[in-house]
Structure 1
Amino acid sequence: MAQAAAAAANGAVVDGSGKGDLKAAFIQVYSRLKSELLEDPAFDYTNESRQWIDKMLDYNVPGGKLNRGMSVIDSYKLLRQGNLLSDDEIFLGCALGWCIEWLQAYFLVLDDIMDNSHTRRGQPCWFRVPKVGLIAANDGILLRNHIPRILKKHFKGMPYYVDLLDLFNEVEFQTASGQMLDLITTHEGEQDLSKYKLPVYNRIVQYKTAYYSFYLPVACALLMSGENLENFIEVKNILVEMGTYFQIQDDYLDCFGDPAVIGKIGTDIQDFKCSWLVVQALERANESQMQILSENYGKDNETCIAKVKVLYRELHLQNVFAEYERSSYEKLISSIEAQPSKAVQDVLKSFLHKIYKRQK
């Protein structure tokens, strides 16, 4: 399996068109990791418990776009500057990518319970599946505990093993803290727009999204490359800023994007989200416009949603976003090009261009 994965992934390196091959290789590694977890000697599985974990993993881990996980092997390939990767390198890069996907699944399973959500990735949230319910809370804990099991099995002999453990623990703490900020800012039943200010928004995004979605994949690739993360503080800052840029773009597309293009129907307005758009509106609104926001934001009603969107247009938030995007992109490119390593520049530009073309 490892040889097949390496052949597929290295094919992508050679001709630059093998993205599908790389994804196929990545999926192969998931199957192996799942099989290993279902035979973990630390727990004496019954047939029923093994079937439960098998179903739970397939339902929650591999169903997304896999961008975070695949970014590890993408970044590692760029850091290697075109050198072919060995079977072991491909497998280890994919395994680390899957650890991030496991982390994502853990966050989402618990986040859906906290938000009382109904659907995730086009299907019912795991806790809403018949016979699951709040067993999903324990499943989330198991998903989190699978990560050190994978790391122990495949990375324990590596010189960067302890650094990997520290990295995942720190990023999990940062993300959970960001979730806490989000939850206490948007208490259900306590809708208070006065809390929605740009510094609050930036802190939530930085901790809840940017660290695990942008910094973690690159940090994993750097550790695999034998680098010391203490030497890449500026790279971390750039990736966190990129994560903020990504979330602001996501908030913009939630309102103004074409659902056929972005693949979802926006709900930030009716969900009373601390969105970049409402933060910008609150900074610009006059007294009557503030009244419109107060009366309509957070209402799951088409008329109320439409009034908020009209107000966003009156405040020219599309132009505000365009200017933010232009200046942010220029700043990021300047920071990236100041990095002394061409390989690191390539990694960062790859991330930035994926974000920038998302709405084009």
Structure 2
Amino acid sequence: MSAAPSLFSPVRIGGLPLPSRLIMAPMTRARAAQPGDIPTPLMAEYYAQRAGAGLILTEATQISPQGKGYSFTPGIHSPQQVDGWQQVTQAVHAAGGSIALQLWHVGRMSHPSLHADGQTVGPSAIAPDASVWIVDPATGTGTMLPCPVPRALTTAEVAAVVDDYRHAADNARAAGFDAVEIHAANGYLIDQFLRASANHRTDRYGGPAENRMRFLLEVVDAVAGVMGADRTGIRLSPFITQRGMNDPDIIPTVLAVAAELERRRIAYIHIAEADWDDAPETPEAFRHALRQAFSGSIIVAGGYTREKADAILRSGLADAVAFGRPFIANPDLPRRLRDGLPLAEADTTTLFGGGAEGYVTYPPLP
């Protein structure tokens, strides 16, 4: 009988053989060069420092100018961005790591100042109860600004966004990524289509759950057609209620999505669990239902410790665990968790924007 898996057991996720089940979660750090939202050598250094993770999931990366929602976030839609990301993948691979790009369209989670036509878009003309981080070009200071009512995408425009995902996946492959993760969580565009609270459409993308799932599945098919299903993952957040996303029908909808993803044999589903202080626990019943619906790898993220990670891995309800914030100040997080070493605390004033300070300046333990 084989030993129960732990955080440092090897695992195969789709087409990726990984040395451990410790994943670096996607985290927006807003360091892309301007103009053009281009990844930089500093970003390559940041990710290479953290190549000890079993797999790095990059910060969310916009698939098109329309998909942008926050200042200084990187894209994957221009040749310059592809070249910038190629520096990142080369640095991570040289350090012995693997890296997947997270593909992102924010939908209504945006601000008109980021768009040439002054318009944000969504499945329906419904504003989220949310704000986004925008830098004032005159002062260079970032502030949170409320998201307005978006313009509803036309049916033809939805198909064009699917093509944007396909193009972004093609660019990710050209940039040397080992896999891609489709961001369908946290109230962004795909999540908006999934939920009746944000999607009031009357065309083939709205109404019953099978219609609200259609956009997500078309995106998966487009991306997997480029990368291969075994190098395509997806992030979902069933229990988020913020940003106007409270939908009592979302759990059965997510499980129906999981069944469709099972048919497509994608590499993994990544569940972003609610991790704020008073958030609800993810129910065991949901974990079991997800495992029953989907036989591929399941990654979980959300305030895990080494002990909690090992426990869920032993239970068989997850195959890998993603750590986010601890990786900010601990580039050598895998070693620290494995050996029970103390964790450094991040400087919260340098999380978004800026340069090297608070980004690549956290030292590993000697």
Question: TM (normalized to structure 2)?
Answer: 0.30
Instruction: Decide which structure has greater helix share.
Output: 1
Q: Pick the structure with greater CA Rg.
A: 1
Q: Answer 1 or 2: which has greater strand percent.
A: 2
Greater relative contact order, per chain length (Cα 8 Å cut-off, separation 6+): 2
